[in-house]
Amino acid sequence: MGKAMFYHLTQRPLEAALPQLLTASLGRGWNVAVRGPDPARLSWLDERLWQGAPDSFLPHGIAGGPHDTEQPVLLTTGEASNQATVLMTIDGAEVSADEVNAYERTCVLFNGFEEHAVAQARTQWKALTSAGCAAEYWSEESGRWEMKAESAAS
């Protein structure tokens, strides 16, 4: 059974925080699906990931390509076809309790400077924990990730 991990972005934008989380997941041997609701935003994110630090390489692709099943990181608006063990959602993309339980981890990244994004993350937290999912809330307000709250699976 997986858990939902909520990442409250307050120090860095998505394009800076996401590569760190992706690299950590790949380091554990996990394939990752990054789900967003907007194809244009995923294309923008794809460009940012390719423009990462010169000494790093983050292998990834956008869903709909000929090698989706082989991608360690797949950017998608829907289901993952890359045998992902981790689902990361951005920009309020939906995630169900069944998905949280099916993945090793589900990471919900949200912008702490957008009131709508914070409210949406709170709604997702309540829905998932009410459905019995384990959840953790992580904040980077101190400059590094710290777990601030936890809800056990029921």
For the chain (154 residues), the mean pLDDT of every run of 10, in chain order, is 94 94 96 98 94 80 93 96 96 97 97 96 97 96 92 90
Q: What are the sequence ranges of the domains in the chain? A: 3-151
The structure's pTM equals 0.94
pLDDT at 56: 75
3-state secondary structure 61-101: EECCCCCHHHCCEEEECCCCCCCCCEEEECCCCCCCHHHHH
Residues 3-151, CATH architecture:
3-Layer(aba) Sandwich (3.40)
pLDDT of res. 100: 97
- Sheet containing strand 32-35, strands side by side: 61-62, 73-76, 32-35, 86-89, 105-111, 3-9, 134-139, 146-151
